[in-house]
C-alpha cells in the first residue's frame, strides 16, 4: 500500500471533496481507494460542458489534478508536508455529452519531493475519454 495512513472514501470526501473549492463546485466525489489507486467521479452536465454541449477539457483536467493532488497528500505526512501541482497535461480522446465520468489515479513515481501520477478518465460505457499525467511537488509545510 502506498498511502501514509489508512483512509476511507467517506473520510476523503469529508476532508477533500465536500468543501468550497473547484472540486466541490464540479461535484467531484471520491468513490474508491485501493492499495495503489484512487477513484473519483464527476458529472457531465451544464457545470462541466463547453459551448458545444460536451465535456470541457478543462473540467477533465480539474478532475485529474484533484485526484493526483489528493493522492499525493495521502502519501505524505501532512503535519510536515504540503503537495502542490507542478505540471498537468491531458489528451482528450473522445467526447462525452452526459452522465458521469470516472477518473482512476495511479502512481508512476513517488519520490521524496516529486510525485508523478497517471489519471485515466472513463465514460459510463468504460471507454477512456481522457488520459492525463500530473506532476506534484512535495514541499515543507508552510512554504506554499
Answer for the pair 137, 113: CB distance below 8 angstroms, yes or no: yes
Alpha carbons 67 and 92: distance in angstroms, whole number: 17
Catalytic residue check, 87: no
Alpha carbons 60 and 16: distance in angstroms, whole number: 18
Q: How many CB atoms lie within 10 A of CB 36?
A: 13
Strands annotated E in the chain: 29-33, 38-44, 81-92, 99-110, 114-122, 128-140
Catalytic residue among 65, 87, 118, 124: 65
Task: Cite the active site residues.
Answer: 65
Amino acid at each position: 500500500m502506498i498511502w501514509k495512513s489508512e483512509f476511507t472514501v467517506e473520510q476523503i470526501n469529508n476532508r477533500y471533496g465536500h468543501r468550497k473549492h473547484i472540486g466541490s463546485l464540479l461535484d467531484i466525489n471520491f468513490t474508491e481507494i485501493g492499495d495503489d489507486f484512487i477513484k473519483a467521479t464527476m458529472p457531465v452536465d451544464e457545470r462541466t460542458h463547453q459551448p458545444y454541449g460536451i465535456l470541457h477539457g478543462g473540467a477533465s483536467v480539474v478532475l485529474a489534478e484533484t485526484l493526483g493532488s489528493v493522492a499525493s497528500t495521502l502519501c505524505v505526512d501532512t503535519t510536515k508536508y504540503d503537495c502542490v501541482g507542478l505540471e498537468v497535461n491531458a489528451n482528450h480522446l473522445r467526447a462525452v455529452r452526459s452522465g458521469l465520468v470516472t477518473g482512476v489515479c495511479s502512481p508512476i513515481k513517488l519520490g521524496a519531493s516529486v510525485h508523478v501520477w497517471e489519471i485515466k478518465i472513463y465514460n459510463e460505457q468504460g471507454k477512456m475519454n481522457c488520459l492525463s499525467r500530473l506532476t506534484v511537488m512535495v514541499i515543507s509545510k508552510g512554504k506554499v
